[in-house]
Amino acid sequence: MKRRVVVTGLGASTPLGTGVSKSWQALCQGKSGIGPITRFEAAAFRTRIAGEVKDFEPLDFIDKKQVRRVDRFIHFALATARMAIEDSRLTINPDNADKIGVSIGSAVGGIENMEKTHQLILEGALHRVSPFFIPGFLANMAPGYVALEYGARGPHMCSVTACASGTSAIGDAFRVIGRGEADVMIAGGTEAGITPIMVAGFDALKATSPRNDEPEKASRPFDKDRNGFVSSEGSGMLILEELEFALNRGARVYAEVLGYGSSNDAYHVTAPDNEGLGAANCMRMALNDADISIDRVDYINAHGTSTQLNDLTETRAIKSVFQEHSSKIPVSSNKSMIGHLWGASGAVEAVFSILTITQGIIPPTINYETPDPECDLDYVPNLARKARVGVTLSNSFGFGGVNASLIFSRFHP
C-alpha cells in the first residue's frame, strides 16, 4: 500500500493579492484581479490586459542581493515557499533534510530576464550581461533556490508541462512520498511571464481575450461570449507530508491528497481533443488512483480557461467521466477571477481546492452571463456557495496535449 500524503502548509501570491488569506477572501467575494498591463508599455498589442500581482514586494521575502540576481518567477517561488513552510511550522534540519525535497513547476521559467538580457546584446552592451543570468532564469532554479534556501536535500524535480506544470509538480511530489523516497515535499508552481514576447506570441495565436475596455469581464469561462484567456502571474505552494511524519511532529492537517492522474491527448499541439478524451482519461486515472467512485466527488475545480475549445471539451470530458452524476457536481473556474497563471495555475487552484474543503465555500465562476447550450453543467455562476465539500478534483490541461488531475479530500485520521 502506498503511504498516505497530507497537506500541512499553504502559500500563494496571485492577482487577487499576496498571501493565502487575501487571495482566498477576494476569490470568495467574486472579485477580479484582471486589469491593464503595467509591467511594460502595451499600447501596440492586441491584448493589453493581464493578471498582475501588484502588491508583491520581493524584499518582504528575499534579500536585496538575491532580488537583483534572479528572475521574478523565482521571487514568487521563494516567497510562497516561505509562506507554506511557516504555515506548516516545518523545521528543516540536518537530521531530516535528506528526506525533504522540492518539486516546483513552471511553463516558461525566467522569460523576463531572458528578454532583458537579449536587449542588452542587441544594444552591444555585452559587458552588462550578468554572470547570474543563466542560474537566474532556468526553470529548475525555482526549486533549486528553494532547496538552497532551506537546505532541503531530498528529491528535486521541476515539471515543465505547460499549463499543467503546477499540478504535475504536486502530483509527482505526491508519488515520491507515496513510494517512500521522501517524507516531506515542498511542491507547487510559479510563473512570471507578463512580458512583451509572451503577450505577442499569444496575440499571434489569438488565444487571449482582447476585451481591453472591460478587463474585469474578460475572463468568462463557460460563458457563451468567451473569447480567450487572460494571462496572469504568481505562485502557489503546498507542503506535502507523509501522514505519520506529520502527526508525529504535531502538524495541523488541511487535507489529504488521494489521487493523481496524467495523460496526453496525442491530438494537436495547442488544441484539445474535440471530445475531451485525454482529459477524461486523466480524471479516470486520478479516480482510480484515489480508489473512489464518481459519486464521492463533491466539487470540480475546472481548468476553465475561457477559450471556446477548452471549456467545451472539458465539459464533455466531465460528462463522459461522471455520467448522470455530472449534473449534480458544482464546477467552477478560479480563472474567471485570477486569469491563467500558466504553469502556476494548477498549484494556485490546488490551494483553493483545499480551502474549499476546509472553509465549506465553493468559489464562483464570475462573468457567467449568457449560458452556452453546449456547456450545461452547474458552474456556480457569479456568487460563492456554501457547501460541505469532502472531495475535490482539480484539473489542469496544457499545450502539447498534456492533462493532469489531482484529488484532495477532507482528512479522516
Residue 411 lies in a domain: no
Cα torsion angle, 368, 10, 153, 286, sign = negative
Give whole-number Cα distances, 195 to 101, 151, 187, 202, in Å.
31, 32, 25, 11
CATH number of the domain where residue 206 is located: 3.40.47.10
Catalytic, out of 28, 75, 158, 340: 340
Nearest to 336 by CA among 105, 47, 28: 28
Residue 317 cell numbers, joined: 470530458
- Predicted local confidence at residue 208, as pLDDT: 98
Task: Single out the residue of 336, 142, 387 nearest to residue 226, CA to CA.
Answer: 336
Helix ranges (H only) for 323-386 are: 335-338, 345-359
pLDDT digits (tens, 9 = 90+) for 38-71: 999 999 999 999 999 999 999 999 999 999 999 9
What does the pLDDT read at residue 272? Answer: 87
250 within a domain of the structure (yes/no):
yes
Cα dihedral 58→62→64→70 (10° resolution): -80
In a domain, 6, yes or no: yes
Instruction: Please state the domain count of the chain.
Output: 1
Would you state the pLDDT for residue 2?
85
Rounded Cα gap, residues 227 and 305, in angstroms: 10
Angle, CA of 367, 373 and 377, to the nearest 5° = 70
User: CA geometry: angle at 241 spanning 240 and 242, to 5°?
Assistant: 140
Q: Of the residues 158, 163, 282, 375, which is catalytic? A: 163
Domain-embedded: residue 236: yes
Residue with cell 537566474: 136
Neighbouring residues of 24: CB distance < 8 A, sequence distance ≥ 6: 12, 351, 352, 355, 359
Active site residue 303: yes
28, 75, 303, 375: the active-site residue: 303
Q: Residue 266: count other Cβ atoms within 10 Å of its Cβ.
A: 10
- pLDDT at residue 1 in the model: 66
> What's the DSSP call for residue 48?
-
Domain span holding position 233 = 1-400
First vs last C-alpha separation in the chain: 16
In a domain, 409, yes or no: no
**How does 368-386 read in b/e, with b if 16+ C-beta sit within 10 Å?**
beeebeebebbbbbeebbe
Output the pTM of the full model: 0.97
**8 lies in some domain:** yes
369 lies in a domain?
Answer: yes
Residue 347 included in any domain: yes
pLDDT per position as a tens digit, 201-236: 999 999 999 999 999 999 999 999 999 999 999 999
Structural contact between residues 101 and 184, judged by C-beta atoms closer than 8 angstroms: yes
Helix then strand count (H, E) for the chain reads 13, 15
Q: Please list the ranges in the chain whose pLDDT falls under 50.
A: none
Rounded to 10 deg, the angle between the 111-122 and 196-205 helix axes is 110
